[in-house]
Amino acid sequence: MLIPSRELHPSSDNIEFRVPLRHDGSFKTLQDLSIGDYLLTVSSTDYNFDKDRFVVLINETQDASNNNITITAYENELGHRYNDLIEVDYPLNITLNQKNPLRKYYEPKNKGITTSGPIAGLLNSKLALFGTVSSIILLIGFNYIQKLDPDFLKDLQNDYSNLQQVVAQNKNPKNSQRPALPTKVKSKRN
């Protein structure tokens, strides 16, 4: 959409020139416009562009031989002052936004259990997923040890109680005598 800059004041109706695009994405109407400055706004219902507002100046330069028209384009972002424009190459190269090229008009309502909610938090966090899987393995493994090898479980409980006694005696400064650490007891397996 091309709007003459002199028409951009509240009393006017902002005259618009709609420019059809060719199959290669180019258009050839800037040479056909009269001398002046224009605001070029690129808009699409399907795509997002990196740069979509330009100020185009069409000037007439007079040489000794003939009259020439020069076209100069400046990038015009919203919120920037009109005299702080950045000059861009002409013909204009209008590119799609690489991060988000397509416009999304709706989001799915039911995202699913793996994309939102507490289960998604576990699946998306490596540390939480590792902790959850480790806890499940420990609980299942402990139950299997109780059923498969009860002697090994008794030996493990004896070692744990001996270790607790050693730690308790080390915390008490009155006992200067230190007991020997418990030796590892091998389980009897058939």
- How many C-alpha atoms does 68 have within 13 Å on its Cβ side? 7
Domain boundaries, the chain: 2-88, 113-148, 150-190
- How many C-alpha atoms does 114 have within 13 Å on its Cβ side? 2
The candidate with the shortest Cα–Cα distance to 46, out of 107, 111, 97, is: 97
Can you list the alpha helix ranges (DSSP code H) found in 115-178?
Answer: 118-124, 126-148, 150-171
pTM attached to this predicted model = 0.43
- The string over 65-84, giving b where at least 16 C-beta atoms fall within 10 Å of a residue's C-beta and e elsewhere, is eeeeeeeebbbbeeeeeeee
Instruction: Give me the tens of pLDDT residue by residue for the chain, a chain 190 residues long.
Output: 444 444 444 344 445 556 666 666 666 555 566 777 878 887 778 888 888 888 888 888 776 566 677 888 888 877 777 677 778 887 777 788 888 888 877 776 767 777 777 888 888 889 999 999 999 998 898 788 878 888 888 888 899 899 998 888 887 756 556 556 666 666 566 5
